[in-house]
Amino acid sequence: MTKKILVLIFCFCLTLSNFLVAQTIAGIWQQVNPKGNTSRLIFTENYLMFATYQTTDKHFVSAGGGAFEILKADSKTILSFKRDFNTEDSTLVGLTVANVFSLDKNTLTVTQGPLAGTWLRITEKLSTEPFSNSLWRLRAKEDTAFKMQTVFRGPFKTIKIFSGEHFQSASFNIDTHQFFGTFGGTFNKKKEKYLEKLTFSSKRNKKANTSFEYDCVINGKDWIHAGQSVTGERVHEIWEKGY
């Protein structure tokens, strides 16, 4: 009985430790490589996205993302995530990859895995709730006849994740491995207005550094989002908090 209790205590402590690491790693991280590319990596509590773009002209290079967890193995701390989308090689979608890492305050060092490199934390202010450190999924959008159409839960997903002041959104199909686009940047919410400023866009490189303002209403776990898209078209969407 005592042995079982000790095992349970050990498992609980390990789970708690991994949870605390996941909480600590939440936010946005950046690395700039000698080729002139900037990479940004955003963590929520259990989902990550990353994107690389050219530092000078903000031209999109690549992106990926998926649900992650923190594991311990042979005294190593491992960031494991299952790829929901991967622009460089779609055949990798659905595969789980491991990244061996260490975390020291504002430096994330990944020694093994596809995220290998030194990442520096970008200092952020905490955003207005309910966006800070969260994930939202598109669940309904207005069609050309101005009628709301449900986006049914299934392999096709449009997801947007937030850190303190940064966001990244992506659309993909996990069954067919298709990728439909991603964009990211900074955001701000003031009362019933939501503002985005794009840093990069996989479809529209020329829209980098452009700002867009939308009407924003929070109703429980629903976020009602309305305004004009980057192409000038009417947007009326409902996003639901959670994967």
Q: pTM of this prediction? A: 0.87
**CATH architecture of the domain formed by 2-121:** Beta Barrel (2.40)
Query: Do the domains at 2-121 and 134-241 have one common CATH topology?
Result: yes
pLDDT in tens, 162-220: 998 999 999 999 999 999 999 999 999 988 999 999 999 999 888 888 899 999 999 98
The CATH number of the domain covering residues in 134-241: 2.40.128.280
| Residue 121 contacts residue 107 (beta carbons within 8 Å) | yes
Structure tokens at 188: 């701000």
DSSP states of 92-116: GTT-EEEEEEEEETTEEEEEESTT-
pLDDT in tens, 4-55: 443 333 343 334 344 445 558 999 999 998 889 999 999 998 999 999 999 9
pLDDT in tens, 88-137: 999 999 999 999 999 998 999 999 999 999 999 998 876 667 888 899 99
The DSSP bridge partners found for residue 223 are 218, 239
Domains of the chain, by residue range, sit at 2-121, 134-241
Structure tokens at 243: 């994967």
